[in-house]
Amino acid sequence: MMDIALPCPEQNGRADTKGVNWRALPRLLFLAVMVAGAALTAKTLYIPVKAQVAQVLLAKAFDESLASGSPVKPWSWADTAPLARVSAPRLEVSEIVLSGGSGEAMAFGPTAMVDDRASRVTVLAAHRDTHFEFVQRLLIGDDIWMERIDGTAANYRVVRTEVTQWDAFTYPTDGGTGLMALTTCYPFDTHEPGPLRYVVWAEMVPD
């Protein structure tokens, strides 16, 4: 919100009204209202515009990472970088997966909480009202594609869903042919924080 300084000269504790053009007050009030409205509008637009710009930069960073085979930061001060792109073809959505698992990174996209190539287990987390809003609409049997920046790609298929406490979530040490979990807060019809997590489990489809 922008600050507006309106001069209010005082003398001996009383407003000095000498030379005040009272006819100009309605115009000044109108201008003050317009400036305040513009400030509120700018603040309202700032967050979605910032989010859209961030997604453009993330997509560019993913393409550069894919071309080089190494993570490329979306902006110089970022503490995260693209690892992969996850897509749900039936829902026609895709998201850039980021490294780090931090809350700051999660503001811009799903983060890899676990990505153990040796055990073939991947756990992704994101906010329920933004990047993982689509997770609630995934159905058993849906395909989930994951394209990594090293050029490899894999198809996973949803096999089950569950709701669990945030501190009770577990995953196997051996993902078999490949196991992915998409996790987000639950329930979906609130913005209040809570202890529950919604988890979608998907198994890799053999080539």
State the pLDDT confidence band at 207, using cuts at 50, 70 and 90.
confident
| Vertex 64: Cα angle to 206 and 45 (nearest 5) | 105
Examine the pLDDT at 115 and tell me if it is beyond 50.
yes
pLDDT at position 114: 93
Contacts of residue 202, defined as CB under 8 A and 6 or more positions apart, other chains included, come to: 144, 156, 157, 158, 159, 179, 180, 181, 182
pLDDT at position 106: 87
State the pLDDT confidence band at 21, using cuts at 50, 70 and 90.
low
Q: Determine the residue type at 202.
A: A
DSSP 194: -
184, β-bridge pairs: 198
Helix/strand/coil for 130: coil
124, β-bridge pairs: 112, 182
d(C-alpha 145, C-alpha 148), whole Å: 10
* Alpha-carbon torsion, ordered 191, 195, 104, 85, to 10 deg: -90
Which residue ranges make up each domain of the chain? 62-204
Instruction: List the one residue out of 61, 78, 97, 83 whose CA is nearest residue 151.
Output: 83
d(C-alpha 34, C-alpha 134), whole Å: 39
What is the CATH number assigned to the segment(s) 62-204?
Answer: 2.40.260.10
Q: For the segment 57-75, what is each residue's pLDDT rounded down to a tens digit?
A: 999 999 999 999 999 999 8
Examine the pLDDT at 203 and tell me if it is beyond 60.
yes
Examine the pLDDT at 92 and tell me if it is beyond 90.
yes
pLDDT at position 16: 47
Distances (CA, A) of 117 to 103, 148, 149, 180: 23, 11, 14, 11
What is the pTM assigned to this prediction? Answer: 0.76
